[in-house]
Amino acid sequence: MGQRIALPRTRALTASGARRRRRALWPYGFVAPAIAVLALVFVYPIVQVVRYSFYAGSPGEAMTYVGLANYRNVVADPVFRHSVLNNVKLLATVPVMTALALAVALLLNGGIRGWRQFRAIVFLPYILPAAAVGLTFSYLLQRNGVINAFLHDVGLGSLAPDWLGSTRWVVPSIGGVIIWQQLGFGVVVFTAALLALPGEVSEAARLDGATSWQLQRLILIPQIRGIVEFFVVLEAITVLSQVFNYVYVLTGGGPGNASSVMEFYIWKNGFSLGSVGVASTVAVMLLGVAGVLIFVYMRVRARAASA
């Protein structure tokens, strides 16, 4: 009798457990199509790029396996090393735009008249296409462009170099354009963070006799430190991996290879010269650097969210 009672109960428990397992798998079934699309669009191309980095030739022809030769040749290429150096130089724009954006955000947070309109004006360049920005500044920064013409008109012709045609000034000029466009994003992010702070702490500091400078330096900025770190990492990723449009439109990598960056080096070898293996090799390198920065960004974001 005991076995006749236990058997149906065991079967019922087994059926209930199977239903629970099926219900637990339903969410994965819903997201499976999206995962498949992501794998097709992102994972497969990345795998192919990594594979091509070990081959020489073009995908339309017979490709030859060369192992790590592409990596050795790329590292030994002075144009590649100069491109990496230019990316490192452009990283100097990150602290500059961070400091400027924070200063403007603190000024707007002070409650000046029309601060919302000023914020919108500062943010406007950020939503403009990078190609359009580069095309506009290519006219402004020519040897006989608007900026140099203005400097000559006010008697400062000695301060009017060939911004885009000089090996000395071309990278700083590109950096200035990047700062001009990216500044608005930082202003909006920092202003939003400042507006979200509780007002009681600032009011208490004012009652204790804190000056405006002390309030900003000792009270406001420390409270948005996580947001500042997030912005720095995000802009570092942008400067390393999203400056091709500026270089291509402004200078085409010139004069010579003076303004070449890693993205432009990839494009030139992959699409202009047909060296897919070399382009894939540099793309893998850039992906590795960007991956490290993205990991740092995720850690900073998680720490800011938990703060």
**Average pLDDT value for residue range 272-278:** 87
CA 265 – CA 200 distance, rounded (Å): 52
Per-residue pLDDT tens over the stretch 16-59: 666 666 666 777 777 788 888 877 878 888 888 899 999 987 77
Six-digit token pair at 21? 């397992």
pLDDT of residue 275: 87
Is the pLDDT at 84 greater than 70? The verdict is yes
Cross-strand bridge partners of residue 56: 64
As a whole number of Å, the end-to-end CA separation of the chain is 62
Residues in the chain, overall count = 307
pLDDT band at 77; cut points 50, 70, 90:
very high
CA 38 – CA 298 distance, rounded (Å): 20
Place of tokens 């008697």: 155
Six-digit token pair at 112? 């000046």
pLDDT band at 292; cut points 50, 70, 90:
confident
Greater confidence, 90 or 110?
A: 90
pLDDT of residue 80: 94
Per-residue pLDDT tens over the stretch 110-125: 767 777 788 788 888 8
**Average pLDDT value for residue range 60-77:** 88
**Residues 70, 56: contact at Cβ < 8 Å?**
yes
Greater confidence, 210 or 165?
A: 165
Kindly report the average pLDDT of the chain as a whole number. 84
**Residues 176, 96: contact at Cβ < 8 Å?**
no
**Residues 76, 84: contact at Cβ < 8 Å?**
no
Per-residue pLDDT tens over the stretch 210-269: 777 777 777 888 888 888 988 998 899 888 888 999 999 999 988 889 999 999 999 999
Is the pLDDT at 306 greater than 90? The verdict is no
pLDDT of residue 291: 86
Neighbours of 266 (CB within 10 A): 21
3-class DSSP string for the chain: CHHHHHHHHHHHHHHHHHHHHHHHHHHHHHHHHHHHHHHHHHHHHHHHHHHHCCEECCCCCCCEECCCHHHHHHHHCHHHHHHHHHHHHHCCHHHHHHHHHHHHHHHHHCCCCCHHHHHHHHHHHHHCCHHHHHHHHHHHCCCCCHHHHHHHHCCCHHHCCCCCCCCCCHHHHHHHHHHHHHHHHHHHHHHHHHHCCCHHHHHHHHHCCCCHHHHHHHHHHHHCHHHHHHHHHHHHHHHHHCCHHHHHHHCCCCCCCCCCCHHHHHHHHHHHCCCHHHHHHHHHHHHHHHHHHHHHHHHHHHHHHHC
Percent of the chain with pLDDT over 90: 29
Per-residue pLDDT tens over the stretch 167-211: 999 999 999 999 999 999 999 999 888 888 887 777 777 777 777
Helix axes 93-109, 115-123, angle to 10 degrees: 160
Which residue type, as a one-letter code, is found at position 305?
A
Is the pLDDT at 71 greater than 70? The verdict is yes
Is the pLDDT at 3 greater than 50? The verdict is no
pLDDT band at 87; cut points 50, 70, 90:
very high
Cross-strand bridge partners of residue 65: 55
**Residues 101, 183: contact at Cβ < 8 Å?**
yes
CA 3 – CA 144 distance, rounded (Å): 99
pLDDT of residue 1: 43
